[in-house]
Amino acid sequence: MPSLKKIALATALSLATITAQAGFVDSFVETLPGGASPYPDAGFIGNQLNGMHDLIENGRTGLLIPAYTNHPAWDYDNRYEENGYPFGAGITRGIIDERGNERMMYLMFFRDSHYEIEPIMGYAWVARYPIANTGFHLGAGYTAGVTFRQDYNWLPIPVPLPLVNAGTDWFNVYATYIPFSNVFFFFSKIEFDDQARRFAPWPESKASAWANTTEVYAQGSWVKTDLSSGDGDFPGSFTLSSESGYKFGIRQFLDRHWALDLSYQQSDHDLKSGGQKVNEYRLTNTNLMLQYHFEVLDSMRVHVGGGAAYSQLKSRGEADYKEHNINPVVQTGFTWAVTDHLRVLGDMTVNFPFFRNVKYGEDGQLDGRFKPANTSFNLGVGYAF
């Protein structure tokens, strides 16, 4: 029969373990959105909802820019056929809490490893550690969200992921490891101190710059392509050239922040095999997007947007080929009100079209899906009225 001393020791160790676990759980719960809730007595679920609402309502606005996807050689024999440049756009609202840690809600769209669109949304918490008095910090934490992927039939996939970052109060680079795909994903955030402008009424000097709510514009483009079948590169070393083009459009503001944007874009591209041109195609995109704009300066707006595009690929060489496709489109950009009427506009627009059985030459054909993976970088001028 165990002695009283052994029973007391076992009881004490058990209580210490339970207390330590309880302390860990309590500490973790504090990192959830409810830890920043202005109404902490609404119950667990209510606290989380209130915390998320407060972050979205009162946090600083930031742009999320996907940067790079690393497919490690130890798991990807075809790593050079996977997409490493996840062009896209996202938006976040976040705060630095009283302990100096970061909390944010976010929504982001990007091009996945198979050149399909992938949305992800969720919450992130990062403990930040300042580097002396440099203004820089390192951080580590987690994100909890949900994503949707074409290769999983667009079913919701929970994504509790580790998160590390480095940066300043206004610019950060983040990295995470995604075990489902076994990749390392990097993205950046540019954050703006926009609360005062967001909540304050427009002063006369500012209102005059944005009082004209219809904008027509024209832009020059550089269209980057990265040809893929979705399952890898086409046999025969086929590539599609990145080329210049143009875009024009019209934008109508519905209120202070929201706008509808309709644009048309055109560019010509060479299809090459082994470095030799085998055909030329004209790629056009007619984009209709809903955009969210926010003021970062009295005369400067930044925006993110998304919607649908009607895309067409047409042969300009020997082959008789023309096909169209309706696909998603996302965008991030800026507008500078130089005067009441003159605008300078720049953006990155990411389209996701695919075409089937593309013909080239007299008898050549690329069977299956043909994904140009076109991302355009656009800069031009506009007139507001």
Does 71 participate in catalysis according to the annotation? yes
Give yes or no for a contact between 348 and 375, defined as CB atoms under 8 angstroms apart. yes
Which residue in this structure is represented by tokens 């972050």?
55
What residue has token string 């075409």? 355
Q: C-alpha angle with apex 149: 145 to 155, nearest 5 degrees?
A: 75
Q: Taking the CA of residue 174 as centre, how many other CA atoms within 13 Å lie in the half-sphere pointing to its CB?
A: 26
The size of the chain, in residues, is 385
Q: How far is CA 385 from CA 31, 41, 202, 216, 252, in A?
A: 47, 50, 18, 9, 10
Distance CA 165, CA 153 (A): 31
CB 261 within 8 A of CB 249: yes
Out of 3, 14, 27, 71, the active site residue is 71
3-state secondary structure 9-38: HHHHHHHHHHHHHHHHHHHHHHHCHHHHCC
For residue 60, the surrounding DSSP H or E stretch is: strand 60-70
Q: Reply yes or no on whether 113 is catalytic.
A: yes
Give the active site residue among 37, 54, 113, 376: 113
Contact 318, 361 (CB under 8 A): yes
The string of DSSP letters for 357-380 reads EEEETTTEEEEEEEB---EEEEEE
Buried b / exposed e along 104-137 (16+ C-beta atoms within 10 A)? bbbbbbbbbbbbbbbbbebbbbbebeeeeeeeeb
φ, ψ (nearest 5 deg) of residue 186: -120, 140
Q: What is the CA 88 to chain-centroid distance, rounded?
A: 4
Task: Note if 112 is an active site residue.
Answer: yes
Q: Which residues are catalytic?
A: 71, 112-113
